[in-house]
Amino acid sequence: MRPRISVKVFFHLPSILATGLVLLAGCVVQQKPADAPAASAASAAQSMNLLASLSTNGIVPSSPQIQVDTTPALVVNIAPGKDPYPGITLQPPADNWDLSGLGHVDARVANLGSNRLTVCLRIDNAGPWQDQPWNTEMCAIKPGATGSVRVCFGYSNGKVGYALKPAAVTRALLFVGKSDAPQAFRVEAVEAGGHEPAVGQFARAAPDIVEAEERSAAEPAIGIIAKLITGTVNP
């Protein structure tokens, strides 16, 4: 005798599967540590706008090649020259930003130039430069497009790196490579967020390094979940 499937169970099967997929996606994407860290000013709000918390002279150009405009938005114009890594340094109002409990810093940047632009975001602790006390990532952005670059604490360039101390971030750098042509970009946001991972439990994969046309928002949710499960795309 064939086992019968309850009509009620069969009727609710799509919603049961959908609920399961949503829960599974949440587990894969969020990657929260088992034990939540102690609360801090940043973690209490779950994010911090670093641009809104700069010191009085908190935007420092890397060389005379750099012209910075702050009204109505933060725009960085870069003339050709000898500076190998032209850009700006963002400095906290005190000795450091306390990002305890948070897990990353995101920068959203618009390419105002006519050439492809590779923007690097670096988050620093204090210490000798020989120790390279920072984490860094980069994002390639096409002309006229906007892209995001994320530095996950403890990672650099897609690999486990310096064990950054979120409670003592001394500065954030946004810079590009040397070019014979003028370059320009607009900084739309620099925000800290996410969750600080427990020791040895950094994010399962390094952050996405993608171009500005990155993902299609129209991709079906089930397809995204399938890719996450198989490891063919980073969360």
- Closest by Cα among 159, 116, 156, 165 to 138: 156
CA dihedral 171, 53, 164, 227 (to 10 degrees): -120
Contact 45, 39 (CB under 8 A): no
The H or E element spanning position 172 is strand 171-175
More confident: 161 or 2: 161
Q: Which fold has domain 35-215?
A: Jelly Rolls (2.60.120)
Quick one: pLDDT at residue 56? 72
Q: Work out the average pLDDT over 16-20.
A: 40
Quick one: pLDDT at residue 169? 97
pLDDT of residue 234 exceeding 90, the answer is no
pLDDT of residue 162 exceeding 50, the answer is yes
Instruction: Please tell me the pTM assigned to this model.
Output: 0.68
pLDDT digits (tens, 9 = 90+) for 45-57: 589 999 998 877 8
Under the banding of pLDDT at 50, 70 and 90, the label for residue 129 is very high
Quick check: helix, strand or coil at residue 82?
coil
pLDDT of residue 111 exceeding 70, the answer is yes
pLDDT of residue 7 exceeding 90, the answer is no
